[in-house]
């Protein structure tokens, strides 16, 4: 395992996007991460050397693809401490995983589903859709004033729902603010009511060590494209017995072991959920991404991001017209520094300026958490999100250029 500090220069050399003559300060990692050369090579390797069909064809191409995909699945299973390789399903993205859960389970009118008030649309809209179409009762648990999780409100919501509580579905770490929720405590309480627990791990899987067994949860959705992996790749972990009983939302080739004109035999998970020809290059390159992450210490990754966030927070917190979403203490916001700006400071214009003037790349807008912004009456925020390959120089560049931009607009 390589220590981040000692090897930072070497790590950065692995990322072609960071090795340009005039490298950008890429601080949009909550959206998508950069890719190391090994992942790019692996994608290319598929298209050049084995551009065949995995899981079906028995020729050399097909066999190589099937074998490499199986290795990627095994690596993911180890990465998340899954008890079984077959509990790892490849999906297009975390959104697809969350939809699979919401639309693959059985629901009765009045079944209660709890989310928080700061969910990404991917863990809100499927439940709103089920509310409209099937009559489930979607309720939100309000966070504390500083966006941290309110365990008391959650306990109350569970008690109010009682035996109708069927699902607790929440994001482990919010993309809005970087705030982590206490998943183990939440799960313990939800289980007292017999509810399932689905965790949206899009913002936790890339940044901290995650053990699905230790968390005690039932489902975990993640974005492989936010974990150094190829775009168009995500994943779902689910307990075997739940996956076996869950409907697939994409049936067809690969999802059955046999069919007649009027019957079918479902394949076992994960095949049942991976209908149609898959993103083979992406699945293969996922193995390279996980290899890369596995050489890091995820606790160190998390600590590094927090230390960068401390610099960002210290640098911007006293600027007039700017306030930080979430707790003041940056160590409670991982690598995310999300800024609410005065009306006279348009977030999209400032984001454009940061890139044009200094090559600082951040995200502006509502980050697919429209519900939170609409509830509070805010237009949007400017979000800088760090990853392990970011340096102090990157975040200082953000702070300096942002301060100048605010000055220019004021």
Smallest separation, CB 350 to ligand PLP (Å): 21
Lay out the site mask for ligand PLP across 230-269 (x = CB under 6 A, - = otherwise): ----x-----------------------------------
What is the 8-class DSSP label of residue 86? G
Q: Residues of 240-263 as b/e, b for ≥16 C-beta within 10 angstroms?
A: eebbeebebebeeebbbeeeeeee
- With respect to ligand PLP, which residue has the nearer C-beta, 95 or 313? 95
For ligand PLP, the closer of residues 203 and 313 by Cβ is 203
Q: Does 94 interact with ligand PLP (rule: CB under 6 A)?
A: yes
Least separation in angstroms between residue 395's CB and ligand PLP is: 20
Q: How far is the CB of 185 from ligand PLP (least distance, A)?
A: 20
Give the binding range for ligand PLP (CB under 6 A) out of 90-98, 237-245, 324-332, 391-399.
90-98
Q: Which is nearer to ligand PLP, 175 or 187 (CB)?
A: 175
| CA within 13 Å, CB half, 76 | 34
Contact (CB, 8 A) for 128 and 169: no
Q: Quick one: which of 99, 116, 122, 198 contacts ligand PLP (CB under 6 A)?
A: 122
- Minimum distance from residue 31 beta carbon to ligand PLP (Å): 6
Among 29, 50, 66, 93, binds ligand PLP (CB under 6 A): 93
383 vs 397, beta carbon nearer ligand PLP: 383
Q: Which of 72, 115, 169, 175 binds ligand PLP (CB under 6 A)?
A: 175
Among 223, 313, 364, 366, binds ligand PLP (CB under 6 A): 223
Contacts of 163 (CB under 8 A, 6+ apart): 193, 194
Q: Closest CB to ligand PLP among 30 and 228? A: 30
Q: How many residues bind ligand PLP (CB under 6 A)?
A: 15
Give, in degrees to the nearest 5, the angle at Cα 394 between 393 and 396. 65
Q: Which of 50, 68, 82, 95 is close enough to bind ligand PLP by CB under 6 A?
A: 95
Q: Is 21 exposed, middle or buried (0-12, 13-18, 19+ CB in 10 A)?
A: exposed
Run of H or E residues at 256: strand 256-259
Binding to ligand PLP, residues 187-206 (CB under 6 A): 200, 202-203
CA angle, 50 as apex, 45 and 51 as ends, to 5°?
95
- Tell me the closest approach of the beta carbon of residue 236 to ligand PLP, in angstroms: 11
Query: Three-state SS across 310-329?
Result: HHHHHHHCCCCCEEECCCCC
Q: Is residue 158 annotated as part of the catalytic site, yes or no?
A: no
Q: Which of 31, 158, 337, 368 is catalytic?
A: 368
What's 181's DSSP letter?
A: P
DSSP per residue, 9-35? HHHHHT-GGGSSSS--EE-BTTT----
Tokens representing 275 are 């209908």
Q: Which of residues 28-47 bind ligand PLP (CB under 6 A)?
A: 30-31
Q: Is the peptide bond before 270 cis (omega within 30 degrees of 0)?
A: yes
The catalytic site residues sit at 368
- Residues forming contacts to ligand PLP in the complex (CB under 6 A) are 30-31, 93-95, 120, 122-123, 171, 175, 200, 202-203, 223, 234
């Amino acid at each position: 395992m390589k220590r981040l500090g000692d090897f930072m220069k070497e790590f950065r050399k692995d990322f072609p996007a960071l090795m340009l003559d005039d490298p950008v300060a890429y601080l949009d990692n909550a959206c998508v991460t950069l890719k190391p050369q090994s992942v790019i090579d692996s994608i290319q390797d598929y298209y050049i050397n084995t551009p065949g069909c995995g899981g079906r064809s028995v020729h050399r191409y097909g066999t190589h693809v099937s074998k490499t995909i199986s290795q990627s699945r095994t690596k993911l299973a180890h990465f998340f401490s899954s008890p079984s390789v077959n509990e790892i399903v490849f999906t297009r993205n975390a959104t697809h995983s969350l939809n699979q859960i919401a639309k693959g389970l059985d629901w009765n009118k009045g079944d209660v589903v709890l989310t928080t008030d700061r969910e990404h649309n991917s863990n809100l809209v499927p439940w709103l859709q089920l509310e409209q179409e099937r009559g489930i009762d979607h309720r939100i648990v309000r966070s504390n004033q500083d966006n941290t999780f309110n365990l008391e409100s959650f306990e109350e919501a569970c008690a109010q729902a009682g035996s109708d509580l069927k699902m607790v579905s929440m994001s482990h770490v919010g993309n809005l603010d970087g705030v982590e929720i206490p998943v183990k405590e939440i799960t313990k309480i939800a289980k007292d009511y017999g509810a399932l627990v689905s965790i949206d791990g899009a913002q936790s899987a890339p940044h901290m060590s995650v053990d699905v067994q230790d968390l005690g949860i039932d489902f975990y959705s993640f974005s492989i494209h936010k974990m150094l992996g190829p775009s168009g790749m995500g994943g779902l972990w689910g307990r075997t017995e739940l996956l076996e009983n869950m409907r697939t939302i994409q049936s067809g080739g690969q999802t059955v072991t046999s069919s007649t004109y009027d019957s079918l035999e479902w394949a076992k998970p994960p095949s049942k959920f991976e209908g149609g020809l898959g993103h083979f290059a992406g699945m293969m390159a996922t193995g390279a991404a996980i290899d890369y992450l596995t050489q890091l210490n995820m606790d160190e990754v998390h600590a590094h991001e927090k230390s960068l966030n401390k610099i960002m927070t210290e640098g911007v917190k006293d600027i007039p017209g700017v306030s930080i979403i979430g707790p003041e203490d940056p160590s409670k916001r991982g690598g995310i520094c999300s800024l609410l700006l005065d009306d006279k400071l348009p977030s999209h214009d400032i984001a454009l300026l940061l890139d044009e003037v200094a090559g600082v790349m951040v995200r502006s807008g509502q980050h697919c958490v429209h519900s939170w912004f609409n509830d509070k009456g805010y237009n949007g925020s400017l979000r800088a999100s760090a990853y392990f390959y970011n340096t102090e120089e990157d975040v200082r560049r953000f702070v300096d250029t942002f301060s100048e931009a605010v000055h220019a607009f004021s």
